[in-house]
Structure 1
Amino acid sequence: MSLKKEHNHKTVLLFLFITLLINTLGFGIIIPVKPQLIMDITGETLANTASWAGYIMLGYALARFLFGPMLASLSGVYGRRSILLLTIAASGIDFLIMGVAQNIEMLFIARIFSGIFGATFATINLCVTDISSKEKRAVNFSVISSALGFGLMIGPSIGGLIGDYFGTRAPLFFASGLSGINLLLGYFFLTETLKKKVKKKIIWSNLTPFGVLKILKVSSMPIQLFYAFFFIQLAFHSFTATWTYFTISKFNWSFSDIGLSLMMVGGVNVIVQGGLSRFLIPKLGECKSIILGGGVMISSFLAYAFANHGWMIYVIAIFGGLGGLIMPSLQSIMSGKLPLNQQGELMGAISSSNGVSMIIGPLLMTQIFSFFTKNTSILYFPGAPFLLSAFFVSIALFLIIRVFVQDVKNKYHFRKKNLKFIKSTK
């Protein structure tokens, strides 16, 4: 690779990191003010506000599930750059509409609009695939993914400060402004990463979530890897949906305690995915990284479920950071098993998978938490969602190991067949 080309790839990777960071910051920034925003608009109580928030999240998740694969797949036809800039612009418009919303319908429109164009992460992953060699693919995925942890680590604290000093809607305008800056940076500095646009007839039925899954089933990638990816995504919702309720119920934590714990989890994630993974994944290899990451993740979920003291959470968070090795390694293997013209379908399927997990996961985890913490419950067990998450990751690891074993068998039979052929020709 020439020095100029390598420099361009580093510039693109930096922009992709910044884009995902800003995207995640925007999500984190609005978390502290969203309940008050809905209360101001509807005039409802906090309990009813939570119900409205659930419906709004469902609308976003459904829109993302239905339209996510379409944009990711179209990036192979129209280019990654144009689709990524479109999703960044849509994110800014979403925050702006929420900032000026005067009724609940406008909030629904904003979130559904964001869900329709919510293919930022999938398109970023495609760009990473385009510019990465086989040796650096997993490491680059990990570096990009660290932006998620960093954004979620500092986003809520920024949003809380802005909301306290400048009002409930100020963080939304701030997030919209960040998206605008990101759009300008992309327009001037992002170059097209797709070497050759795919010249093929667009079959719209193939761009639906079910159409994409149908394509993957007949591709060279074992579909079990995709199912494993989904189960891991589903497991993460024990954090996103029940962490606050779990820590209050189990340890009677204050909001600052909860914020500190989330900062700790996010910080460890940044260190592992942005730093340690760059050395561990190349040294261990993708297969061993997946097994190590999966084993640590299962152990961490079990430890969270049965933790009896608040200080244990911080110890588990430090140890559990190594679980972050599994996703970039798995994604790299999945990407490596498909040709260039099917990368869009893969990322579209991953986007849809995330959408389905967002539809199922939060509802499932909160209902399980509620069932085991009610006064009428036979067994008080607020850690039940984490136990379920450990089960989901166990299923995922089982599916992945099955694929690894089958690959070893295939290589063995191929080598055996070649030896027979060589002997027969002598």
Structure 2
Amino acid sequence: MSLFQRYVTVEPALFLFMFAAFMSYPLMYELVMKRVCDEHNCTISSDLPKNSSSHGCPHVPSAIKSRVIHETSLWILYINIANSLPSIMAALATGAWSDRVGRKVVMSFPAVGLSVNAFFVLLVWYLHLPLEVLFAGQILSGFMGGYGTFNLGMFAYMSDITSTAYRTTRIGILESMIFLGGMLGNIIGGLWVRSGNFAPAFWCIFACGIAVLLYVNVIVRESRPKRRWSYQQHKCKAFFRCNNLVKAFSLFVRFQYPYWPLVLAISVFVLVSINFAGIIDVVTLYVFDWPLCWSSKQLGYFLASKMGMNGVAILLFLPLLKKVGLSDLAVINIGLVSGVASLILMGLASHAWMMYLVPVVGALRGSVVPSLRSLMSKMVNENDHGALFAAVACFEVSCSLLATIIFNNMYPATNHLLTPHGVCFFFMSGMLVIAMIVTIVLRQGWYSSGDDSLPERFNVNADYDTLGDQDGNVRKSSTSDSVSCMSSNVIRV
């Protein structure tokens, strides 16, 4: 095994996938806005603040502009729902399935979906088809997994090939690829938007999907045990089993005492996911409003710098925090404190320089999610990693939709209460304080020391693993049998 294959596994694939995904967001918004403008025979530049001058902002939107922005927002919401709902079902179906058949196939489907979605956008652009055609690409991409299934395959793979001692650091490095890929995608996407030519950008996204597919199947080595050919023939049959859908959430509802830490951990994950997803929606409304009155270009640079700081902080500080002996829960609390401070600063920001301090103050908040992923992976048997991350992916996608609904309605309902209009940010900081309290309860009930290993009294699966036999049925076997089945070309680091 080469040095590259030993220390770099799926990270380039996740970076490229997220780069393409985040690059598509501003492009899709601009494409939809352009089509809506064409229907109303008007021209609106997305570089103008979308707010009223009654508070001193330099641009006054007409009634037609407000109407266009409202219709564009609805289109984007419907497009997101068309992609998210099928992706939730795909994640549930493929998570537990990947525990038996391997991670590579689960990582391959979303890469194909990324290219399929870009292809449908290109059809709309070249053939001047109606916007409704975009739903076909979004639905197909969703049924192929979307970013939720891709993430579950990535993080389950990393949990498979790492020991518990180094898992948080490696998952953190993998998570940083989301932030760094998103940062670069936002910047490049913004540049394509200003050029006004969408076709080359979506051809680039199409090529990224093909490149990810090739990388996963040619470079990445399978992390799950190799099966006999007689078992391989049952892959398709095993995919349609209802057990795949049930297994993901059965991890949280079993009646054994040891599963309460997992319930608390996923509760923290839900609070954090709603919080992080809601920030993007509220920030967009907040910075376009008085007193900041930003342009879309300024917003793009702010979001890119925010994601970049999170990614760099994970790469630099998360390994350092683990090296000095801090537990996963301690790292989570440090990240939550950083997140609370950044949200309070954002809620009080009345000048641009205060907003540009937010990415610096909140840099360590990016360490929360990878530490939670690592923590939860240590709470289950290694043959349940796929099922676990399937449930996590479903919560992640659902929280994103829920955050959009909650905060897009909360902001206009509360923006008259304070100036600046930061009530939503204070509410979000309260959510993170609740998450901190839950982690403290979890720590008091779980850890007797700073060790991250799962206490023996919590590991009900310590004596056996669940493996599929040659007919795809689940059987019990000793842990030593499972270890002996592991492919020799995957080395735990």
Establish whether TM, by shorter chain, passes 0.5.
Answer: yes
Structure 2 residue runs without a partner (length 5+): 41-67, 457-493
State the match for 1:139 in structure 2: 169
- The CA distance in 2 between the partners of 1:251 and 1:406, in whole Å, is 45
User: Which residue identity is paired with 1:128?
Assistant: M
Quote the residue 1:402 is aligned against. Answer: 441
Alpha-carbon RMSD across the aligned residues, in angstroms, is 2.6
CA distance in 1, matches of 2:417, 2:317: 43
Q: 1:385 to 1:64 in 2, by over 3 A?
A: farther
Partner of residue 306, structure 2: 265
Question: Who is 1:334 aligned against?
Answer: 376
Match status 1:245 vs 2:285: yes
Give the letter aligned to residue 93 of structure 1. Answer: V
Query: Which of 14, 22, 27 is 2:16 aligned to?
Result: 22
**Aligned twin of 1:72:** 95
TM-score normalised according to structure 2 size: 0.76
Task: Provide the residue aligned with 1:128 in structure 2.
Answer: 158
**Alignment pair present for 1:310 and 2:349:** no
Aligned residue-pair number: 403
SS at match of 1:134: coil
Partner of 1:349: 391
Within the candidate set 315, 320, 323, 1:279 is matched to 320
Give the partner amino acid of 2:435: A
**1:419 matched to which residue of 2?**
none
Instruction: Tell me which residue corresponds to 1:215.
Output: 251
* CA deviation map 1:331-383 (0-9, x unaligned): 1111011101211111001000012102211111111112123xxx4555522
Q: 1:226 aligns with which of 266, 284, 301?
A: 266
Contact 2:101/2:224 (CA < 8 Å) preserved in 1? no
2 CA distance for matches of 1:213 and 1:257? 41
The structure whose residues are more often helix, as a share, is 1
Assess, with a 3 A threshold, how the Cα gap between structure 1 residues 407 and 156 changes in structure 2: closer, same or farther. Answer: closer
Q: Deviations over 1:54-82 (max 9, x none)?
A: 11112222222232122222111221112
Quick one: structure 1 residues 131 and 7, their matched pair in 2 at CA, closer, same or farther if it must change by over 3 Å? farther
Change (3 A) 1:159 1:325: closer
Distance 1:258 1:125, change over 3 A: same
**Post-superposition offset of 1:243:** 1.5
Change (3 A) 1:7 1:263: closer
> Quick one: structure 1 residues 9 and 127, their matched pair in 2 at CA, closer, same or farther if it must change by over 3 Å?
farther
Q: Which runs of 4+ in 1 moved over 6 A?
A: 197-203
* TM value normalised by structure 1: 0.87
Q: How much identity, in percent, do the aligned residues show?
A: 19
Instruction: Tell me which of 209, 221, 242 is aligned to 1:191.
Output: 221
2:79 equivalent to 1:56 = yes
Q: Does the aligned pair in 2 maintain the 1:21–1:148 contact within 8 Å?
A: yes
Residue type at the aligned position of 1:393: L
Which stretches in structure 1 are left out of the alignment for 5+ residues?
416-426
Deviation of the 1:202 alpha carbon: 6.6
The one-letter code of the counterpart of 2:404 is P
Q: Which residue of 1 aligns with 2:118?
A: 95
- Aligned partner (choices 168, 179, 188) of residue 158 of structure 1: 188
Residue aligning to 1:32: 26
* More deviation, 188-197/328-337: 188-197
Q: Deviations over 1:71-97 (max 9, x none)?
A: 222111221112212221121111111
Counterpart position of 1:293: 335
